[in-house]
Amino acid sequence: MSKLMIALFVAAGLSSAGCATQKDASMATAKPMAPAVPITKDAYDNAVRNADANYKVDKDACASRTGNAKDICLAEANGKEKVAKADAEAAFKNTPKAREDMRDTRAEATYSVAKQKCDALAGNPKDVCVKEADAALVKAKADAKVDRVAADARQDAATKQADAAKEANTVKREADYKVAIEKCDALAGTAKDSCVSGAKAQYGKS
């Protein structure tokens, strides 16, 4: 068992009753399994309002606590609010950068709570606890950046492929048009004129 886990268990023991937001915060700061489903502006605004309202409730629930237990509770309430808003923004913007920002916010919320729990310790165990929290934050942000760069690359590749396909279709239609016009040369008079007009209409030529 890592020293960070030991530290977290110790801190949890000091506030065994727990904060009403603790479970929600730990769930909210977990890495999402898949990108959020895109939402509308109205849904985004509603999510922000809900986050504000829930934060007030969670913050009020911390009022009866004191010392480190209260600090942890407030950090969890604050993190839960930020994560909810970041999730909503990522779903609304629906871009690789927005999803990276959302994951960064989750990591920072987890980090803030972990740092508060480390305050229940002293000496080297506390130092180790803080360093492990620091490392977890750095790793989470690094992973989020890698995934964002990969998503950007896929998006760029898809755009280039679509552009290449469009160009190829244009070139092929032009080649087919030239074939059709060449076939018209075997005709004469009205028949040729009709053939040329038909070819132009088919291939969008004026």
CB atoms within 10 A of CB 8: 20
Domain ranges of the chain: 3-155, 163-202
Helix (H, G, I), strand (E, B) or coil at 39: coil
- For the chain of 206 residues, list the mean pLDDT of each consecutive stretch of 10: 42 40 40 67 96 97 96 97 97 95 97 97 96 97 96 93 94 96 95 95 91
Identify whether the C-beta of residue 35 lies closer than 8 Å to the C-beta of residue 144.
Answer: no
d(Cα 66, Cα 170) in Å, to the nearest integer? 71
pLDDT attached to residue 50: 97
pTM for this model (two decimals): 0.66
Q: What's the token pair of residue 25?
A: 């915060």
At 110, the amino acid letter reads T
CB atoms under 10 Å from CB of 69, counted, come to 21
The answer to whether the CB of 106 falls within 8 A of the CB of 36 is no
How far is the C-alpha of 10 from the C-alpha of 115, rounded, in Å? 13
Q: Rounded distance, CA 204 to CA 182, Å?
A: 16
Helices 123-184 and 96-118, packing angle to 10 deg:
170
Query: What is the per-residue pLDDT for 206?
Result: 78
Which pLDDT score, from 0 to 100, does residue 107 have?
97
